[in-house]
Chains A and B, each alone.
Chain A
């Protein structure tokens, strides 16, 4: 009762309906007081660019369609306390200079972008210089086939304290793109079939990525120049191609990669210039290369991970290796366990001789799967000569770890 009185006296609800009195969202916004709610009835609204500069709640009923006519950006928000919910955005304009977006947020705080649908948005949600935002349960899909005609799904620049959760992003350039974004939680999202990266961030420290699914993206996931990344229980799957990676780590430091699953990627993790990253309880399965560890990486620690069905377990391009790989499970391990403590008695060397040769002379890849390569790898196993002496697992696990059971 009290709420109702307060609601009616301090916050009005304006209904916008194609068939009713208020036909225009734009005019409704102009006439609304800060804190009002605008309810939009189903129908199609083509009103070009809509500026939003006061705190408002905009709620769509049954997904009214806001059409950008292949020409306009739809909402440009420059206000705190804005909610956008239940709308369907289509046909955002494509521009090469401006990053036109379905929802663009500038210098704002306390934003809720929930349950919206985006089809063929150039950029979906584009936020800069903002904080305290919740971007939840949105569905973004683009059907463009060329990279330069589509923008990123969720794009954040210089933001902090945001939560990006349970969104589904498909067919954009980058699914989720961060630059200078800090203290943000990214969880439960599914980024699939994007033309470039499923997730792409730079200079974005202390963010946490949890339970996300990155599937079948053009070049997988690329993260760069960042410290304090937490990657937990994500899945990187089917990122397959000549320059595609489950996850590309470039200059990443002091981070945790735990409980993730890397499945059927041409390269599970490619890392260069990265240090002090703890990789634990990850599963690497059926990748071309599970891990490509460039010699520029140091003090990384691979511990208690499962490696199975990968063409190459670990590849590296130098003989000096300052990283540790201990207590992992390797399906290729052929050693024995005399004292039955589940730890193999002889070390496992995850780097094959042939992968070293290919790193040295890429053309040698043409001998792949030949009898010669088979023999070379066998010989190297017996008498190690080329592969890095100290890159070995001294305590290989005899059995794969059961992470599902441990987690529950």
Chain B
């Protein structure tokens, strides 16, 4: 019994302890951060670190930016993924497979590769330091399209027969039949997209340099360069809590969908 639990316990501690340390340190006053005899839990709980984060970066604005980018970006991406996947599976046109192959190759291109030309494009369009400039280049979705296409292909044809006899068009077939029966797959795509948008760092970092246009990860990176003393770690941990804990909560509640989406291709 013990031999089974001990390795799991060690693995769990290695994963969980840094996160516990983060939360605990974010509530510690400075003297408990710079001490040479640190305790796991704060002796005197304070929210001063969070207040300092709010003074250094316009926290409410930055949070709002992150929420807008995440929600608008995710909604559009998921909608595009649904309609594209539907078109690829149910609207017969010559060359559709070639288009699908083109989308798959796009899945392979990391954002670092397209970063510089996209910066030129968005700058030319006047999108620097704007929320649409942050959202736009990431909207084309290969991942969601791929995942939903696989799913739509697995739907039985009989599902649509009654609707076809009624003379339903593609819009009705998509939104009244395909979408309602595919909610688990759509949830998976949505959650993975939300997680990615919220955590996204490289592109917002490049395209914003004024504080009230930054997303949370970019603002935290700036906080790090301002608060570079040993005594600042409590403040940095408060920042880390703000970006990490929302995703931890979403993950804890909906992990089944997220894990299946992220391990798609490996785990059937």
Decide if A and B are genuine partners.
no
